[in-house]
Each structure stands twice: as C-alpha cells, then as structure tokens.
Amino acid sequence: MTKMEKIAKRIDSYRNEMIDMQIKLCAKPSISPAIGGEGEVEKAEILIDFLKKNGFSDIEVIKAPDLEAPSGYRPNILGFFKGKSSSKTIWIMTHMDVVPPGELAQWRGDPFKAWVEEGKIYGRGVEDNQQDMVASLYAIKAFHEEGLEPNYNIGIALVADEETGSE
Ligand SMILES: [Zn+2]
C-alpha cells in the first residue's frame, strides 16, 4: 500500500469514532456570550483531551478575556504535530463557536443532540465548523497511528468567537 492508501484506510476506520466526536462536540453549544451563550470552554475541554491523546505536542490554551462569559474568557487552542522539518508549519484553523439554532420548530430533532440520517450528520455546528475541525484532527491522528511523519510541522488552531465579531 502507498502512504496515501494507508492514511485513507485508517481514516475510513475512524468513521464511528468521528461521528461520536461530532455528537460530543455538538452537545456543547459554544454560542457567544454576546448572544446569550456560554462560550467555548466545555467544547475546548473535549478537544484538548483529544490533542493530548493523539500525538500532538506543545498544546497551549490562549485565554482571550470576555467578561460576559461565565468563565471570564474564551479559549483558543494551539497544538502541533511535528514533521521531518520544523522550517515550516502548515496551519489548519477552525473555530469552536456556533450560531444559535434559530427557530426550533424548523428542526426535526434537538439541534444539540446530533443524529445521523441517510449517511449525513444533522445538528447545530456539525457543518460549520465541526466537519472541518473533526476531519483535520482525525487526519493527523491517522498520521500518528500509521507512524508517518509529515514533511513539515502541522499546526492546529482551534479558535473562539468566529461567528459574532471576533473581538
Ligand atoms: Zn463558521
């Protein structure tokens, strides 16, 4: 098998785990305090735990002050997956916050209890921005578990407050 085939096969094997991760992340609404939510702290805990268990290093949480948030801050997480050379870092940035669910009558289920229907995941945030987030994290997990080193470092930035002004 080529490296690409190994990675692709490994990622396929994560299907159920990735769906579970989507469901877990979706259950932590992460709506901005400016529009009545609690921010990203609880979602960040799940993600930090994932990074710690899957080969990431130099994990750092940058706490942007937000007095409206119950915790007083909005977390921004950085983590690295080391490559053969540290001369460059390829960054993948995704955001943790989601917009409010809107009118609940328009949903066929609870927007914060993600569900699978005909091979698709439904729930607030599962597309924007969790599909990119989960895909990138599991792509790196696949490198880690296949013992493959990328040519350059990969940096992951999981950020707060994208949806409402990025103050
Ligand atoms: Zn978005």
- Tell how far the Cα of 35 is from the centroid of ligand 1, in angstroms: 16
Q: 40 catalytic, yes or no?
A: no
- 161 Rama sector, left if φ>0, alpha if ψ -120 to 50, beta otherwise: left
State the distance from the centre of ligand 1 to the C-alpha of 137, rounded, in angstroms: 17
Among the listed residues 110, 127, 146, 162, the single catalytic one is: 162
- List, in order, residues 6 or more apart from 107 with CB less than 8 Å away: 101
165 pLDDT above the threshold of 80? no
What CATH number does the domain located at 3-159 have?
3.40.630.10
Q: How confident is the model over 17-48, as pLDDT tens digits?
A: 999 999 999 999 999 999 889 999 999 999 99
Q: What are the sequence ranges of the domains in the chain?
A: 3-159
Query: Looking at residue 157, what is its pLDDT?
Result: 98
7, 25 in Cβ contact below 8 A? no
Tell me the pLDDT tens digit for each residue of 51-108: 999 999 999 999 999 999 999 999 999 999 999 999 999 999 999 999 999 999 999 9
**Contact assessment for residue 77 and residue 158, using Cβ atoms and an 8 Å cutoff:** yes
Determine the distance separating the centroid of ligand 1 and the alpha carbon of 32, expressed in angstroms.
13
Span from the CA of 29 to the centroid of ligand 1 (angstroms): 14
- 128 catalytic? Reply is no
